[in-house]
Amino acid sequence: MYNLILVRHGQSQWNLENRFTGWYDAELTKQGIEEAQQAGSLIKNLNLDFNFAFTSFQKRAIFTLEEINKKLNFSIKNIFKAWELNERHYGALQGLNKEETAKKHGEQQVKIWRRSYDIAPPPMDKSNPNHPVHSPIYKNINKNLIPDTESLKDTFKRVIPYYEKNIFPILEKEKNIIISAHGNSLRSLCKKIFNITDNSILELEIPTGNPIHITFKNDMSLSKYLYLDPKRAKKILINE
């Protein structure tokens, strides 16, 4: 069996404040740290060795992976950070309170921005000091690759090529991998792995700090999948 763990970072400060976080580098809350530690304990209970892990450039996912690593019997030696695994960029919505934004623009419009597969929110102007092109985190990334806004489809188009080129070949060879990332980058991975339709993926919600354990057969076909904490589980496959 080949094992892939997908875990969304623990609760961030902007999750708590109900803001559109996107590429903003939010800190974990106390609850978020505890969720990450609990995720580590759940993964440890699988009694698997993990030699490889992947995370984004954003510290809420990085810190979550660090907390998981502390809980494991053997520390993961090979950890790769990839901006391609970042959260979806919410454009001009970044930093805004979701409830207040719905009051201003209407719930239907905000639902379209949040849940449509191929409709992105209004872009963030590159002159905005909060635009990621101004962040030292991305100084070595081609500025033309850094988005002003993204739909889930846009996120999928950067996450999946990275997964196919850099993660899946290692999974085939080394068998066990952990990916610590974000709600929408993980939704993109789930869409690929579970062959979820464009319509159904809009309903998938991934809770913070609850690992999804996916196993593959020797031919790399899907075997089974489940959340490690059943009390906080959500449906992975949504019926049409």
Residues catalogued as catalytic: 9, 87
What is the separation of C-alpha 51 from the centre of its chain, rounded to a whole number of angstroms?
20
Burial of 45 (C-beta count, 10 Å sphere; 0-12/13-18/19+): exposed
- Gap between the Cα atoms of 76 and 204, Å rounded: 29
What DSSP string runs through the chain? -EEEEEEEPPPBHHHHTTB--TTS-PPB-HHHHHHHHHHHHHHHTT-----EEEE-SSHHHHHHHHHHHHHSSS---EEEE-GGGSPPP-GGGTT-BHHHHHHHH-HHHHHHHHH-SS-PPPPPPTTSTTSGGG-GGGTTS-GGGS-S---HHHHHHHHHHHIIIIIHHHHHHH-EEEEEE-HHHHHHHHHHHTT--TTGGGG----TT-PEEEEE-TTS-EEEEEES-GGG---SSPP-
